[in-house]
Structure 1
Amino acid sequence: MTLLDYLLRANLYLFLLYGCYYLLLRRHTFFGLNRAYLLVSAGLSLILPLVELPTETVAALPATPVQLPTLTLVQAEATSSGPDWALLGWGAYGLIALGLLIRLIWRTTRLLGYIRQQPQQPLHGFTLVHPADPQTPTFSFFGYMILSPADRQAEAVRTHELVHIRQWHSVDVLFFEFLQALFWYNPVLLAYRASIRQVHEFLADAGASATHRADYARYLVTYALGDGPEVLANSFFKPSLLVPRLRMLQRRATNRWALGKYALVLPVTLVTLALTAARPEVEHLIVEPFQTQKPAPIKGRVVGPDNKPLPGANVIVRNATHGTTTDRSGQFTLDVKPGTRLVVSFAGFATQEVVAQAGRELLIRLAPQSGRSASQKSALAPGKKQPVSRQTTDQISTQGQAEDIIAVQEHMVVGQRRMAVGDTNNRPVQIRIRGNSAGLGTPPPLFIVDGVDQKSEVGLSELNPKDIESINVLKGSSAYAIYGEKGTHGVVIVTTKTGKKHETKPAEPGKH
């Protein structure tokens, strides 16, 4: 909190709390409570701005590393600026406050010096001072009662001033004089100071007129001339307070039900505190280091619907080019970050995506593709095929009786086409296959030379084997996962030595 914030909040409390006194309490005859309210409210106005309400703890956020470009610092030329008006303003405020404090100390010292120069008579609980000048008015200051020669026989005056001394009213006066010096620009403190002096006189009058209130009022009216005393002292007679004192002497005691008004001040104070309470400033920003997840070995097992292992299943990192295959028991191990999505595929089974989890072995159960049953045998490893037995559902029609009928299942190879040959009268048939593969016209794989798609393998014959750096072959689900529909029939990636030199980020082939 800055000094300006403190001053603004303190003056706001002074204004609100005195407003409650002026509107609700000043006409009551509870003089002791009114005095306590004025003192406590002024003191709270200095303390409440420093109160800090508890705030919710905010969780620290991890710091994400950010790379910034290199900046060139150029020293700016010094420019002439105008005067610092804020500094000048605070300087003027401090000088005025310091001057008022020095003036308060000087007046207090001068008054005490005057008292010590006069004849004194120690009495029980106070010191009676007899001024030499008969024009000196009667007043009191702390434990001193300065009694005018004209009032030596006036018992009411002595009783009045004795109340000031015993209740230490001079402390209240100096307290508000000190506040006035600090907050000299606030007019509310002038009202505070006038109100506390008025309450002091009401208290002293109540003590002096306990038995004969009417006679005491007449005595105030007939009290005569004399110069006013030092304003720091409590004088018996002040013309500005004469009328309020007479009115208060004639007023009936306030009903005790009015004490509830003092309780109304509490919610006003609490609401103001909630709205203006200081908030702790952030002194230290807690930044936790960004924890980068490192690749960890992820283990898993790939099985079919019958929980039998699927050896040779492809486990590829999604949107990447690296992966692995399962062993004979369907197990695999792959170094990836936890939370990485893995694409698991096997010929004849539907592709499945799983999320890698650290410290936990994955069990991946693949379901057969639509149109295939669980009893259908599929390829065991990429590039290796074996006959697949299907369960036939053809209806067998019989004529007569038939015993021990055996249905022979038809054998075929997954992915291989079938061709029917017409009747040749039992003569040998010669079949000639033309094309780029043994799949009876199966489309050729995708050829990529130095990142450029080739329409066929014709371009490969034009390459010098010495110029070839590497050849990578992708097929099956791994080729489809990377190149989509174009990689359905496999991908042949050729990298030449010339292309490798210009390559900025080589692709990482899959692990098979």
Structure 2
Amino acid sequence: MSPDMIYFMKVNVAILFFYAFYRLFFYNDTFFRLRRTTLMGLLLVAVVYPLPDFSGWMKEINTVTEAATVYSTMLPEVIVSAGKTTAAAPEGWLLQSAFLLYLAGVAVLGIRFAVQLGSILILSVQCKTARINGVYVHLLNHPAGPFSFFHLIFIHLPSHTEQEVDEILTHEMTHVRQWHSLDVILSELLCTLFWVNPFVWLLKREVRQNLEYLADQTVLLSGHDRKSYQFHLLGLANQKAAANLYNSFNVLPLKNRIRMMNKKRSHQIGRTKYLLFAPLAALLLMVNNLETVARVTTLPSDIQPTDSVMPEVVVVAYTPTDSQPAVPANDNQKKTVQKNEPKIMKDTPPREYNGEKVFTKVDQMPSFPGGDAALLQYIARSIKYPVESQRAGNQGRVIASFTVDKEGNIAQLELVRGIEPLLDAEALRVLSLMPKWTPGVHKGKVVNVRYTVPITFRLQ
């Protein structure tokens, strides 16, 4: 499974989990400001939590290592495609079709978002402006429901009494002052990117409704009559909207808004339950990094325990059919074979490079540009499973080791354990062409650091 797909699945599982968490703990209280912060936090954590890498720190904790050993029994392998040299499989076509369908959905929703945004901007140019009760508003030239977007407020004055206009302005100025449009845009973008997940749409609905609860609360606290305000909302329920991407005065469903306005205020002690969000986010980060720790914990014994080890990559190719023409190894592979011919490093790893010590554990480990996920993407794009090796049925694990020097260059690239010349050469070729890393730091100084990477070639 590719790193992008792993990330996509993790985000979608987190969204499902967070929606259930929100409904269970926060759905019925009246702490609308806390609910807004929590909803935005849930969405942001769902998107960001798969990215940070704390595995180096976690490996130092014995209880985490023990948990990783148990977790490894159910850990899926990180798999990358063997590239253009592999035979096509029905499952591959199915995945490609599903991916194209997903991209089509993202494109359609992206266009919809752009059209909605454009319609608001066009309205802001076309409509005349006026200052009412000290507030600048854009005057709609046809009957439509009032709404706001960032600092823009739109209203059709002939449709409302003076009291109703005052209620509308109080409501919409709450959206403006508290920057509610940022929440709207974030939830819309997440729905565009993860549209296949129904729970992201449900979270979007909760975000929009909670913003209306906040604005309604402000109207009532400013002294407006509760029943008069609710009848005003009911009177606007069937008005046609002038745009869709906005904070709306009369957004549906009104039933929930009226219920919240009439609901008894929650006890202040109930605020403490919002503290649950912090340990929940920390738990997700730990579980996400537990995967990397588990992969390292279960590596074969011929990898020295003091080495810094990257997540294992499994390169899968389908056994080619007789109709598939044999593709010889390219020049780069042949040259690499000649240079690194069956060479297995049996001695201890290099302890020095350019006369300076090579470390295996440092305070700040070197990092591939973009992190482990980007490294796996690089391998997925670059590696090729030689067809000659496929036809010969050659498969197994290649283990290579290299040093990330003080400038971030790849040096002292060696084969720890090989399979056969072509597969060994392909693994070494891809690793040798890696871009510069961010070098490691130990006790405030940039140092050389030794890394080990296992790459498994497998036929199906």
Shorter-normalised TM range: 0.5 to 0.7
- Deviations along 1:59-90, one digit per CA (max 9) or x if unpaired, are xxxxxxxxxxxxxxxxxxx9964463233433
Q: CA deviation at 1:143?
A: 1.1
Partner of 1:182: 193
Q: CA deviation at 1:173?
A: 1.0
CA distance in 2, matches of 1:45, 1:224: 34
Structure 2-normalised TM-score? 0.53
Q: What are the residue-to-residue correspondences of 1:459-474 with 2, within 5 Å?
A: none
CA distance in 2, matches of 1:45, 1:80: 36
The answer on whether the counterparts of 1:127 and 1:143 sit within 8 Å (CA) in structure 2 is: no
Q: CA deviation at 1:194?
A: 0.7
Partner of 1:243: 255
Partner of 1:166: 177
- Deviations along 1:365-424, one digit per CA (max 9) or x if unpaired, are xxxxxxxxxxxxxxxxxxxxxxxxxxxxxxxxxxxxxxxxxxxxxxxxxxxxxxxxxxxx
The answer on whether the counterparts of 2:195 and 2:201 sit within 8 Å (CA) in structure 1 is: no
State the one-letter code of the partner of 1:159: T
193, 199, 203: which one aligns with 1:192: 203
Decide whether aligned partners of structure 1 residues 221 and 89 sit closer, same or farther in structure 2, where only a CA change above 3 A counts: closer
107, 110, 114: which one aligns with 2:119: 110
Q: CA deviation at 1:146?
A: 0.7
The alignment status of 1:216 with 2:232, answered yes or no, reads: no
Partner of 1:332: none
Q: CA deviation at 1:288?
A: 5.8
> 3-state DSSP class of the match of 2:218?
helix
CA RMSD across the alignment: 2.9
Q: CA deviation at 1:196?
A: 0.9
77, 91, 94: which one aligns with 2:100: 91
Q: CA deviation at 1:215?
A: 3.6
Decide whether aligned partners of structure 1 residues 267 and 223 sit closer, same or farther in structure 2, where only a CA change above 3 A counts: same
CA distance in 1, matches of 2:35, 2:203: 11
> 3-state DSSP class of the match of 2:55?
coil
CA distance in 1, matches of 2:242, 2:86: 58
The answer on whether the counterparts of 1:151 and 1:157 sit within 8 Å (CA) in structure 2 is: no
CA distance in 2, matches of 1:246, 1:111: 28
- Deviations along 1:245-285, one digit per CA (max 9) or x if unpaired, are 11111112111111121122333333333223352884599
> 3-state DSSP class of the match of 2:196?
coil
CA distance in 2, matches of 1:120, 1:283: 60
Decide whether aligned partners of structure 1 residues 34 and 132 sit closer, same or farther in structure 2, where only a CA change above 3 A counts: same
The answer on whether the counterparts of 2:49 and 2:284 sit within 8 Å (CA) in structure 1 is: no
Q: CA deviation at 1:45?
A: 0.6
State the one-letter code of the partner of 2:147: F
Identity %: 26
The alignment status of 1:129 with 2:138, answered yes or no, reads: yes
Q: CA deviation at 1:207?
A: 0.8
Q: CA deviation at 1:92?
A: 3.0
Aligned residues: 269
CA distance in 1, matches of 2:311, 2:36: 45
The alignment status of 1:274 with 2:286, answered yes or no, reads: yes
CA distance in 2, matches of 1:273, 1:121: 50
Decide whether aligned partners of structure 1 residues 215 and 80 sit closer, same or farther in structure 2, where only a CA change above 3 A counts: closer
125, 149, 163: which one aligns with 1:141: 149
The alignment status of 1:232 with 2:245, answered yes or no, reads: yes
CA distance in 1, matches of 2:26, 2:230: 23
The alignment status of 1:43 with 2:51, answered yes or no, reads: no
CA distance in 2, matches of 1:262, 1:219: 33
State the one-letter code of the partner of 2:150: F
Partner of 1:290: 347
- Deviations along 1:209-250, one digit per CA (max 9) or x if unpaired, are 112334433433455652134221222113x32111111111
CA distance in 2, matches of 1:168, 1:222: 27
CA distance in 2, matches of 1:104, 1:273: 31
Partner of 1:34: 35
> Max radius of gyration: which structure?
1
Decide whether aligned partners of structure 1 residues 112 and 289 sit closer, same or farther in structure 2, where only a CA change above 3 A counts: same
Q: CA deviation at 1:136?
A: 2.0
Instruction: In structure 2, list runs of 5 or more residues that go unmatched.
Output: 61-84, 296-308, 313-343, 349-460
Instruction: In structure 1, list runs of 5 or more residues that go unmatched.
Output: 58-77, 292-512
State the one-letter code of the partner of 1:185: V
CA distance in 2, matches of 1:91, 1:224: 39
Q: CA deviation at 1:48?
A: 0.4
CA distance in 1, matches of 2:86, 2:153: 65
Decide whether aligned partners of structure 1 residues 284 and 251 sit closer, same or farther in structure 2, where only a CA change above 3 A counts: closer
Partner of 2:306: none
Decide whether aligned partners of structure 1 residues 80 and 30 sit closer, same or farther in structure 2, where only a CA change above 3 A counts: closer
CA distance in 2, matches of 1:233, 1:92: 28
Q: CA deviation at 1:126?
A: 5.9
> 3-state DSSP class of the match of 1:49?
coil
The answer on whether the counterparts of 2:19 and 2:203 sit within 8 Å (CA) in structure 1 is: yes
State the one-letter code of the partner of 2:149: F
CA distance in 1, matches of 2:238, 2:19: 34
State the one-letter code of the partner of 2:38: Y
CA distance in 2, matches of 1:146, 1:273: 43
> 3-state DSSP class of the match of 1:262?
helix
The answer on whether the counterparts of 2:183 and 2:207 sit within 8 Å (CA) in structure 1 is: yes
- Deviations along 1:173-224, one digit per CA (max 9) or x if unpaired, are 1111110010010111111111111111111111111123344334334556
Decide whether aligned partners of structure 1 residues 257 and 232 sit closer, same or farther in structure 2, where only a CA change above 3 A counts: same
Structure 1-normalised TM-score? 0.48
Q: What are the residue-to-residue correspondences of 1:479-490 with 2, within 5 Å?
A: none
CA distance in 1, matches of 2:236, 2:44: 36
Q: CA deviation at 1:29?
A: 0.9
77, 81, 101: which one aligns with 2:110: 101
The answer on whether the counterparts of 2:175 and 2:215 sit within 8 Å (CA) in structure 1 is: yes
> 3-state DSSP class of the match of 1:28?
coil
Q: CA deviation at 1:118?
A: 1.1
The answer on whether the counterparts of 2:11 and 2:50 sit within 8 Å (CA) in structure 1 is: yes
- Structure with greater helix percent: 2
266, 270, 282: which one aligns with 1:254: 266
